[in-house]
Amino acid sequence: MTISVGDKLPKTTLVKATENGPEAVDSAEYFAGRRVALFAVPGAFTPTCSAKHLPGFVEKGADLKAKGIDEIACTSVNDAFVLGAWSKSANGGDVTMLADGNGDFAEALGLTMDGSKFGMGKRSQRYSMIVNDGVVEQLNVEAPGEFKVSSADHLLGNL
């Protein structure tokens, strides 16, 4: 079952890429009491993710925060080291990288995809959402191969 607007996010463990190394993050605690713009990518360093998705959220970060967003976070089925390196190489700015190394978060959301034909295995679908105190306020899931509704511009336009 895919998560929907009005649903509470499932409780899982993500891993935050920090300057001091990986840090376990309880999803229920992380999203509690604040409004987070969360976007997911199929993989760090992949073409669309690196050229458009992450840069859009970095570029529009101040605009999102001016509209009441407390934090901007990115998740991917990659490990925290990969997400940390991707953030550094892409000038990820204030975007918090939340690794979903085993895909547990994507699976709990019902937003996985099969990237096996590209040698990627189980991954997260591309999406964006607004999470307000742990509850999905807005959800934008891309059609396979698309990059439209999960963009920072689209999310910003719907705030």
Is position 74 annotated as part of the catalytic site? no
Domain of residue 29, CATH code = 3.40.30.10
Low-confidence ranges of the chain (pLDDT < 50): none
pLDDT score of 17? 79
Residue 24 placed within a domain: yes
Q: Which residue reads 């547990």 in tokens?
A: 104
Residue 2 placed within a domain: no
Residue 99 placed within a domain: yes
pLDDT score of 132? 98
Residue 7 placed within a domain: no
Number of domains in the chain: 1
pLDDT score of 54? 85
What is the rounded (10 degree) CA torsion for 79, 1, 152, 96? -30
pLDDT score of 85? 87
Give the three-class secondary structure for 74: strand
Residue 75 placed within a domain: yes
Residue 8 placed within a domain: no
Residue 4 placed within a domain: no
Residue 56 placed within a domain: yes
116-132 pLDDT, tens per residue? Answer: 677 666 878 889 999 99
Instruction: Exactly one of 36, 49, 73, 155 is catalytic; name it.
Output: 49
Bridge partner residues of 123 (DSSP): 113
pLDDT score of 52? 74
For residue 113, the enclosing domain spans 13-157
